[in-house]
Structure 1
Amino acid sequence: SKKERQEILTIMESISATGYTSGRDILTKLSALFNVSTGNWLEVDFSRWGKSTCDNEKFEKLKIAVIQHKKIKIVYENTRSERMERIVQPLKLSYKSKEWYLKAFCLKKQDFRIFKVNRILKLELLEETFVPTPFQEPKKTLQQTCQQIVLLFSKEIAYRVYDEFDETQIEYENNGDLIAYAKMPVDTWLIGYLLSFGTNVEVMEPKYLRTILAEQAQGIYEKNKT
């Protein structure tokens, strides 16, 4: 049917937008065969602002490595600011909460690992291939490490709140301020994220997070005061 043909083309348009080499050719042929156009409705750019060449080359190498089952050598910076070199078997790319991750099997650790793509500082595509095995998710999932967070944001910064929180997670004060509820891991990323709001955010729960944030803010003040 016409609807089914349109759905097939839409799927191929999505695949083509990710940079899959044969996707555009297949889409063109199917469009001509079905005499239907998708209107070029989707565009995907894997790069960060100002780093298009570097990021796109990295994704191209990762795509080849995953599809062709080739091992890669990476230099990676972890959350403890430790720089390490690893040879891994890349299994899949995963997009979660506006960030790209590589799910892989680490040969040194002999275990499955998740690497944040932006923290892969160097990447070398090796010729040695491997037989892929299904990625095994960690037994302790991220959801199990999350805690209930309640944040009060001033209305002036509402546009940023909508970047991170769904409408169902937000309540509104009479003066227009916003209260956001979420389960999140309390880690260095969260502290840095909250500090980026300056005086436009107040931690309501948990109480110990208020103390951590205040200490970090005091440290920033001491380092930068004149």
Structure 2
Amino acid sequence: MKLDRLLSIVTMLLNRNIIQAKELADRFEVSVRTIYRDIEAINQAGIPIVTFQGMNGGIGLAKGYRLDRNVLTNDELAAIITALRGMSNSYISQSNEQLVEKINSIISPARAAEFHLKSNHLIIDLTPWGSSGSLEFKLQLIKQAIEQQTRMRFNYSNANGELTFRIVEPYTLILKGRHWYLEAFCLKRGEFRLFKLLRIKDPILLEQVFTRDSMPIRENSVGEEWVSSQNSIEITLCFQKNRQHLAEEWFSIEEILIQEDRSILVRPIFPENEWLYGFILSLGPDVEVLEPLHLRQIIESRARKIANIYGSLEQT
């Protein structure tokens, strides 16, 4: 949009003394003539832009001009910068980068050092350990589908490993509990569904445009229905003594009960499915399922199968 381009040009001029018209044209993928028309429109809006001749010439704002920054305090602007940086690590967006640049542009030179300190008090990095190229590809593809309102198709693996073919109308990307989800209308199920991006395979954009309708009002927070489903059970986990740090990685201090022998009990409520079995096994030998009995038996059976696999490798 032209308005977005004009605002972005002003922001870049606020952050730099001089910028070349050709650089602006390349940045916004328009002609140099279009940039000069944009400059004229910005001048007519009351923002003084001057041109500098010579080898190092270009376009710049009149000396001393700055945007009014009285709407937000330094603390509020620093909080916005922190959130945007954290989001940009895992969700690359040119608009986020431009907003960071806009915020930096309205900080006075006298306050720049203080603002830099405040905006670096907290660093949020939401990217996973290791390579995340596949996830970044899915995020960008889904973002494109949402913006263009086009349907997508993909294969989806549920919690039980069952693979199904889906065609969806994507509405919203959600970051919840260190994982990305797509909220979309599923044509196969005839209702809105949450799809975990890690379980989406072979996503493809379709040329079928859809009309975005109002989404149903969500009574619970994202994923709350997953926890409160009918198959939820209360379990009792026992962490061995001196393993409190492991318990605190997953459970709040209020949930942790330290016993006389220094072992630790927790009694969370989880839906019983493949995720739960995998989660318990991922805690390793320092954790034991005490209740319910059937869950204990399932974990024991799976642990034996794992031991048998590695035992057979040693024998060969």
**TM-score normalised by the chain length of structure 2:** 0.62
Tell me what 1:191 maps to.
277
Deviation of 1:119 (Å) = 0.8
Identify the range of structure 1 (61-70 vs 18-27) with the bigger mean alpha-carbon deviation.
61-70
What amino acid sits opposite 2:84 in the alignment?
I
Tell me what 2:76 maps to.
7
Tell me what 1:122 maps to.
202
Equivalent residues of 1:69, 1:89 under 8 A apart = yes
Tell me what 2:163 maps to.
83
What amino acid sits opposite 1:29 in the alignment?
K
Distance in structure 2 (CA, Å) of the matches to 1:8 and 1:63: 26
Deviations 1:134-167 (A, max 9, x none): 1565999221332222210113543332221111
Deviation of 1:223 (Å) = 4.2
Distance in structure 2 (CA, Å) of the matches to 1:127 and 1:195: 43
Alpha carbons of structure 1 residues 83 and 178: separation in structure 2 relative to 1, 3 Å: same
Distance in structure 1 (CA, Å) of the matches to 2:126 and 2:139: 10
**TM-score normalised by the chain length of structure 1:** 0.83
Deviation of 1:75 (Å) = 2.0
Distance in structure 2 (CA, Å) of the matches to 1:195 and 1:50: 22
Structure ranking higher on relative contact order (CA contacts 8 Å, 6+ apart): 1
Equivalent residues of 1:71, 1:87 under 8 A apart = yes
Identify the range of structure 1 (9-18 vs 150-159) with the bigger mean alpha-carbon deviation.
9-18
Identify the range of structure 1 (133-142 vs 17-26) with the bigger mean alpha-carbon deviation.
133-142
Distance in structure 1 (CA, Å) of the matches to 2:284 and 2:81: 44
Deviation of 1:186 (Å) = 1.5
Tell me what 1:54 maps to.
134
Distance in structure 1 (CA, Å) of the matches to 2:96 and 2:282: 40
Distance in structure 1 (CA, Å) of the matches to 2:243 and 2:155: 37
Alpha carbons of structure 1 residues 26 and 214: separation in structure 2 relative to 1, 3 Å: closer
Tell me what 2:154 maps to.
74
Alpha carbons of structure 1 residues 144 and 68: separation in structure 2 relative to 1, 3 Å: same
Runs of 4+ residues deviating >6 angstroms: none
Structure number with higher strand proportion: 1
Q: State the aligned residue count.
A: 225
Equivalent residues of 2:160, 2:274 under 8 A apart = no
Tell me what 1:21 maps to.
94
Distance in structure 1 (CA, Å) of the matches to 2:74 and 2:284: 51
Deviation of 1:169 (Å) = 0.9
Aligned with 2:160: secondary structure? coil
1:141 aligned onto 2:225: yes
Structure 2 unaligned blocks of 5 or more: 1-69
Deviation of 1:33 (Å) = 1.7
What amino acid sits opposite 1:15 in the alignment?
L
Aligned with 2:94: secondary structure? coil
Sequence identity (%): 28
Of residues 239, 247, 255, the one that matches 1:153 is: 239
1:181 aligned onto 2:267: yes
Distance in structure 1 (CA, Å) of the matches to 2:85 and 2:145: 18
1:201 aligned onto 2:281: no
Deviation of 1:69 (Å) = 2.8
Distance in structure 1 (CA, Å) of the matches to 2:152 and 2:177: 25
When the two chains are superposed, the root-mean-square deviation of aligned CA atoms in Å is 2.8
What amino acid sits opposite 1:141 in the alignment?
E
Alpha carbons of structure 1 residues 135 and 9: separation in structure 2 relative to 1, 3 Å: farther
Tell me what 1:112 maps to.
192
Distance in structure 2 (CA, Å) of the matches to 1:162 and 1:144: 25
What amino acid sits opposite 1:70 in the alignment?
T
